[in-house]
A and B are shown apart, each in its own frame.
Chain A
Amino acid sequence: MATSALSPRQPSPTVAQPPRERISSWPLADRVCYWLCWATGVALCLIALAIVLFMLVKGISYLRPSLFFESPAPSLHQSEAGGFLDPIVGTLIVTAIGTAIAAPAGVAIATWMSEYGRPSWLARAVESAIEMIAGTPSVVLAIFGLLVFARSFFGFLSQSASDGQVTGQSFFIAGIVMALLALPLVVAATREALVQIPARMREASYALGKTRATTIWRVLLPSARPGITGGIVLGMGRIIGDTAIITILLGSALRNQGVGSVPVLGTLRGFGSTLTSYVYNDSPAGEGNAPQKAYAAAFVLLMIVLVLNALVTRLTSGGTERSRAWSWPALSWMPWTR
């Protein structure tokens, strides 16, 4: 019986491939909902397109090559307000400091959590702590940074006013607090990447007589590299885009004002600006009110963020897409979802 039912003579049952149902046969309410879904999807695309096009048009019409090489100058006339050389340098400095701290720390914490994780209550507590950092508004992180670093003990990181009060505002401090912003992203990405490494890789390494530390350093971290890099780039994007920490911890100067005579160290200890704070200060909400400059700088900022976004997509797609057909690999890279 069973064999005859499966014999090739029989027309193959169509159960596996149901006939494509027609939307028009649905009840009206269901059809409305179906089209609402489509409308939502299209609307999201249109919003994104509108944002990019708007910034593109405004950005290109106000962007001049000279803007990249001139320092900002406070002026009533936009044409004399200078360029945004200092903000670009500032963004680079803050991103470099933040990433330099967040990347090693994040990878180390994630490695500990996924490879050691003993005692387990401690691992769970650390996990919640990381999640709590991720959930803390950046403006609160900034206030916390100010409270910690505006003490004479940390005076070497920023500058002191004439009455000996430490300002707690400098590139160093902004960068350090920015590291907190990027840390959860690096941790989440690294953990994700480590979890996806098959157990046989570890076993093979142990079978060859390698110690745990060697296995982590020579086997696991190299194979997790694309994921880790993706997380770091995501963290950089977050650092570049954040404004609240900059306005609070870097002062609202337009130019990078160094302290003392030591060239590099002096700049790092001084006030300054980044692209985000430059946009904020030049918008009608800030003091500068030079919307054309704000548009141009915002365009540059958006382009940087878009490039980083594309980079993350390239780094993290590939491989995972086929293995998790129903899941949604790219979006699972948004760290808040974990």
Chain B
Amino acid sequence: MLGALAVAVLALIGLMVVTVVINAWPSFSANGLSWFGPGGNVVTQFRAMQAGTPLPNHQLLYFRAWPLIWGTLITTALAVLIAIVVSTLAAIFLTEFAPQPVRRILEPVVRLLAGVPSVIYGLIGILAIAPWINEHLIDNARRQSVAYVVQLNGADLMTATLILTVMILPIMISITTNALAAVPASWREGSAALGVNRWRTMWRVSVRTARPAIAAAAVLATARALGEAIMLSMVSGGLPFAANPLDGITFLFEPVQPLAATIIKEFGGQQTGAVAHTIYAIAAVLLVSAGLLSFAGWAAKQPLKRYGIGV
């Protein structure tokens, strides 16, 4: 009987993938592979679908998701890159350098950061960080320089990335710390016996051994960052604008709108079939990417098994 329940979970996963993909299909089949490509303004496309009047020379389901995909890629990539550095340092600190009392403080701190609901992160971002950036970091010349395409108001790529980094740090720290702690003590002792100092031992022996775990942590954190909807819909500016890296520093102050946040934003129009199909298509993309990333995270950890480290 217990087995039946377990099988039901399997069936549920299958049902989830099938349902979402079937309902997403009209949007994909209408647009083909250009669904993922650039072309036009996402907001106009959604409004046209909602009104039921296709854009000129296009069918009703016309949709080009590139600005959203770009927003997802750029926020996720920046956040994960920063988080790899910070989490590795923090994990080294926790396993090697932190005195016991500091460790006892830091451990609940990391768990607290993991436990804070994303809506609170979003609230802090939109009511505290975004206004501060708007006031102190964006000057008028910068505002003018892009005023013809977009308005800068502090809810931007930078705010989104910073908060996203804090949100994915706990998972990365915990995976990396577990891996570093699982490195056989004799390996580190061997290094120490050769007169290598503690940092180099950590860096050359432990971190090197734990590299697959760091990769796995980065992949799993990517999956989480990808699916973060509420916080990003609150602080990323809410404008499906493909922020342009060629704008230099201004790039960081341009708004973005990732895929998951778009579902939240456009959900109000889901009663009309076309909008619904497009939203389901976005969900399908997220579902498939999350599944692939879960698998990649599992695969990335496999080399560690060779050393007998199960993380």
Interface residues in chain A, defined as those with a beta carbon under 8 Å from any beta carbon in chain B: 18, 21, 25-26, 30, 33-34, 36-38, 40-41, 44-45, 47-48, 51-52, 54-55, 105, 108-109, 111-113, 116, 122-123, 125-126, 129-133, 135-141, 143-144, 146-148, 180, 183, 237, 240-244, 247-248, 252, 276, 279-280, 283-285, 291, 294-295, 298, 301-302, 305-306, 308-309, 313, 326-328, 330-334, 336-337
Q: Are B120 and A279 in contact (CB under 8 A)?
A: yes
A105 to B2, CA, bound (A): 9
Q: A38-B93, A140-B227 are in contact. Are A129 and B115 (CB under 8 A)?
A: no
Set of chain A residues within 8 Å of B169, measured between Cβ atoms: 44
On chain B, the residues within 8 Å of A333 by CB distance are 111
Q: Which residues of B contact A337 (CB under 8 A)?
A: 171, 174-175, 178, 311
**A144 CB contact (under 8 Å) in B20, B98, B171, B199:** B20
Q: Which of B106, B107, B200, B234 contacts A30 (CB 8 A)?
A: B200
Q: Given contacts A241-B117, A284-B126, A330-B111, are A116 and B2 in contact (CB under 8 A)?
A: yes
Quick check: A326 and B234 within 8 Å, CB to CB?
A: no
Known pairs A116-B2, A143-B280, A308-B115. 8 more at Cβ < 8 A? Answer: A112-B2, A133-B9, A143-B263, A244-B229, A309-B115, A327-B178, A330-B108, A334-B111
Contact A21 B198 (CB under 8 A): yes
A144 to B287 alpha-carbon distance, docked (Å): 10
For this complex, 19 residue pairs linking A to B, each with C-beta atoms less than 8 Å apart, are A33-B89, A40-B90, A41-B98, A48-B109, A55-B124, A122-B10, A135-B223, A136-B227, A137-B260, A140-B287, A140-B290, A144-B16, A144-B283, A183-B9, A283-B123, A302-B120, A306-B112, A309-B111, A332-B178
The reply to whether the CB of B13 lies closer than 8 angstroms to some CB of chain A is: yes
Nearest Cβ on chain A to B205's Cβ, whole angstroms: 14
Asked whether, in the complex, the Cβ of B10 is within 8 Å of the Cβ of A129, the reply is: yes
Among B50-105, those with CB < 8 Å from A are 86, 89-90, 92-98, 102, 105
Q: Say whether B112 contacts A48, CB under 8 Å.
A: yes
Q: Is the Cβ of B90 less than 8 Å from the Cβ of A242?
A: no
Q: Which residues of B contact A276 (CB under 8 A)?
A: 117, 119, 230
In the complex, chain A residues whose CB is within 8 Å of the CB of B224: 336
Residues of B within 8 A of A52 (CB): 112
Q: Does B147 contact A (CB under 8 A)?
A: no
A302, B13: Cα distance in complex, Å: 32
Q: Which of A44, A240, A291, A305 has the most CB of B within 10 A?
A: A44
Contact status A38-B290, CB under 8 Å: no
Assess whether B178 is in contact with A54, with CB atoms less than 8 Å apart.
no
Pair B97/A280 contact, Cβ less than 8 Å: no
Q: How far is the CA of A284 from the CA of B124 in the complex (A)?
A: 11
User: What are the residues of chain B within 8 A of A133 when measuring CB–CB?
Assistant: 9, 12-13
Knowing A40-B89, A129-B9, A334-B174 are in contact, say whether A135-B291 is a contact too (CB < 8 A): yes
Q: Which of A284, A291, A302 contacts B116 (CB 8 A)?
A: A302
